[in-house]
Every structure is written in C-alpha cells, then in structure tokens.
Structure 1
Amino acid sequence: MHRRSLLLGALAPAALSTPALATQRTAPALRRLTLRHATTGARFNGAYHDGRTVDPRALADISAVLADSRSGTVHAFDPTAIDILWEAGQRARWRGEFLVVSGFRTPETNALVCGAGNSQHLTARALDVCLPAAQLPGFANAALEMRRGGVGVYNSRSFVHLDSGPVRRWGDVPGGASGSSAPRPAPEDPIARIAEAWAAARRN
C-alpha cells in the first residue's frame, strides 16, 4: 500500500504539469511587425495580433503610420493586408524593419503618383515595401507562393507591392502577369514615372 502511494505521488506532479505544457505548446504566437513610412518617418514596432485576433489599438497605430503621406489622412487599414505582409516576412525569414513607400492614398495623392484608378491603396488594402536588392527576390517569391492578393515586383526600384485584393501578379515575376485565362490586370502603378511622381508629391 505504501509503495502504491509513493508511485501515485510521483506521478501526480507530472499529470498536473501535462495540461500546462500542452497549453504552452498550442498557445498561438504573437504576430509582430516593425514598420516605418519612408516619407513621414512614422513608425510602428510591436505585436498587432495575438494569434487569434487583431489588436484594435495596434491596428489603429499601424493605420496612422500608413496614412496618406501628403495630407496625413488616416484610413483604417485592412488587417488582411497586414497579415499578408507579416506572413511573407515569416516565409522569407525577414527580421528587419519594413520600409513602406506607400500605404493608404487619397485620390489626389494617387493621381500624383500615377496610381491606377482602382488602386487597392485607395481603400487601405495595399502596401509598397522597399527591400534591399539581396533580399527582394526571396521576399517576392514568398509572397507569390502564398497566392493571397496581388503581388507586383519592381526589381529596378527595389520594392514589392502587396495587397489583399484578387489574386494576381505583375512586374518582374516568373511568367509576367497571372497565367490564368482571365484578362491580364493592369499594374497598380505605371512604374516608369513613379520615382519622379513621389518626389513631386513630397514637395507639395
């Protein structure tokens, strides 16, 4: 009897700790991002998602960072677009700061940078992210493999466009635009003049 009590006593701590370990292993991981707007310098650094749902306060802070760079107009950013950026970064093992060239745009700013008339930037569902030349291909390929929204790759300008709209691709990507039988979508931005247009927008 004494021997059986000792055995049960030894097993009890292990039994009690097992649920805790299981909870620890299955607990969703925080999703963290570091963003900086190239034009305004506004920055976000922290968790925006607890693994189950978006933190509304963090999303509001991100929306402020990604506000229109000319007018300062803030539009609630689509959390799916933020998730696409985060997931692409995870897949590409990106550990640095994301430098955002363009987030939300008002119609006036969109016209100044020669944006498409139906640009996803107009509804705060798109980001243009600058990346070092060495990291850009890996990040772009990770985003393309996800098949979530639109991906535009601009190697010559060192940035990738990501959005939460329909799945499509354009720019410096394998096979060019989406290989489906659907009509080829127009690029989000006529890139030939975008650098000059951004310079003009910052001066206004």
Structure 2
Amino acid sequence: MKRRLILLAGVFTLAAPRLRAGSPRRLALRHSHTGARFDGPWHDGADPDPGAMVELSAVLADSAAIRPRPFDAAALGILADVAEAAGLSGPLVVRSGYRTPAINAAVHGAGDSQHLRAGAIDLEVASARIQQVGGLALGLGRGGVGLYPRRGFVHLDSGPVRAWNGDAPGGGIPAPVEDRIGRIAAAWRNPGGRR
C-alpha cells in the first residue's frame, strides 16, 4: 500500500499543474460540523490576505473554540494546490481544521496533532478519489498526508512530510516518506552490504 502511494505521488507530481507566481488565489469551503463557510480570495499571489485569514481561521475552528487560533497559511496553500490539481469543485467540505485540546482528545486525535496548532485540514473526498487526491498531496512534498477511505476524507497538514493510511490496522501511525536517494547513497557508502 505504501509503495503504491509513493509511486502515485511521483506520477501525480509530474501531472500536477504549476501555479503561476503572483496569481491571486481563491477558496470556497464549508465546515461540515459547524456549517461555517468561506468563499472568496484568500491570497493575493504574494501574501495571504490578513482579513481573509481571520475569516478562514474562524471557519476552520471547531465549535468549542472560543477564540479561533490563526490558521497556518501553508496548510491552506496545500489545500488550494491539491484542490486545483485534483479538479475538486467548490465548496470544499472540511471535516476538521483547528481543534481545541478537548475536542482533539474526544476524537482520539494524536497528542501532537497538527490540528492543535491550526496546521491541518481533514478534507472530505469521495471514496473513489481518495488515492488520487492523496497521491497529489503527497506529490507536493509539503506536509503530512493521511488517507481515510472508509471515513471518506484525506488529512492534509503543513508539518513534516509523511504519509499514512488511517483506516489500515496499525496504519494511523505516520511514517516518513521513503528517502530513496538517501538509501542509494547509503548503499554506495557500504558496498559490502553490511549495515
């Protein structure tokens, strides 16, 4: 499964559209639990729009958040890039964005979840497209990607590059993406095959 995901990431990286530098960016999304919505420009092509970031932070916060935490623009950039590359038409449905510690514990989230720092988004995706969307996200090489096909979403975050299948037995543990170049370099350093 992991090999297939890594292979798909390589293929989709080649197929992913290249963004023009400086082009304004828009997002249309809805939080599935709170019903909060955002539809408009969020980035001018050089920097995130501060007003839009305040709105997005509120939309992406869980219902227990009294004061939303400022959402990470890098995570929103990943979401926008994946949505564009996959041809997802809006509004994107977000199941989870920023989580308070209480909500994170209630949903059995990881203690160091990127959701706690407002750097993760669980994006609702049709089951038939989970692998494709996950492969595109992994191909960006810009954060964590978790696939949850039985639950119908892809986790995207701006943390370290890693991947996991949250629905597989024991699959909820993120693993670093394979470093093939590093492995080849190590093999060249150790020609006898001894480790």
Q: TM-score range by the shorter chain?
A: 0.7 to 0.9
- How high is the sequence identity, in percent, across the aligned residues? 49
**Cα distance change, pair 41–126 in 1 and its aligned pair in 2 (3 A):** same
Query: Is the CA contact (8 Å cut-off) linking 1:100 and 1:129 kept in structure 2?
Result: yes
Task: Give the Cα–Cα distance (whole angstroms) in 2 for the partners of residues 93 and 64 of structure 1.
Answer: 26
Structure with higher RCO (Cα < 8 A, 6+ apart):
2
Q: Secondary structure at the match of 1:46?
A: strand
- Structure 1, unpaired ranges of 5+: 1-25, 182-204
Deviation at 1:85, TM superposition (A): 0.3
Task: Give the Cα–Cα distance (whole angstroms) in 1 for the partners of residues 122 and 177 of structure 2.
Answer: 23
Normalising by structure 2, we get a TM-score of 0.73
What does 1:7-156 align with in structure 2 at a 5 Å threshold? 28-156=22-150
Deviation at 1:133, TM superposition (A): 2.2
Task: Give the Cα–Cα distance (whole angstroms) in 2 for the partners of residues 144 and 27 of structure 1.
Answer: 21
Deviation at 1:69, TM superposition (A): 2.2
Query: Could you report, residue by residue, the CA deviation over 1:58-116 in whole angstroms, capped at 9, with x for unpaired residues?
Result: 01100000112234440000000000000111111222221111110111111000000
Q: Which has the higher helix share?
A: 1
Task: Give the Cα–Cα distance (whole angstroms) in 1 for the partners of residues 125 and 111 of structure 2.
Answer: 26
Deviation at 1:134, TM superposition (A): 3.1
Aligned length: 154
Query: Could you report, residue by residue, the CA deviation over 1:150-193 in whole angstroms, capped at 9, with x for unpaired residues?
Result: 000011111000000001000079xx743537xxxxxxxxxxxx
- Structure 2, unpaired ranges of 5+: 1-19, 180-195
Greater C-alpha Rg: 1
* RMSD after superposition: 2.0
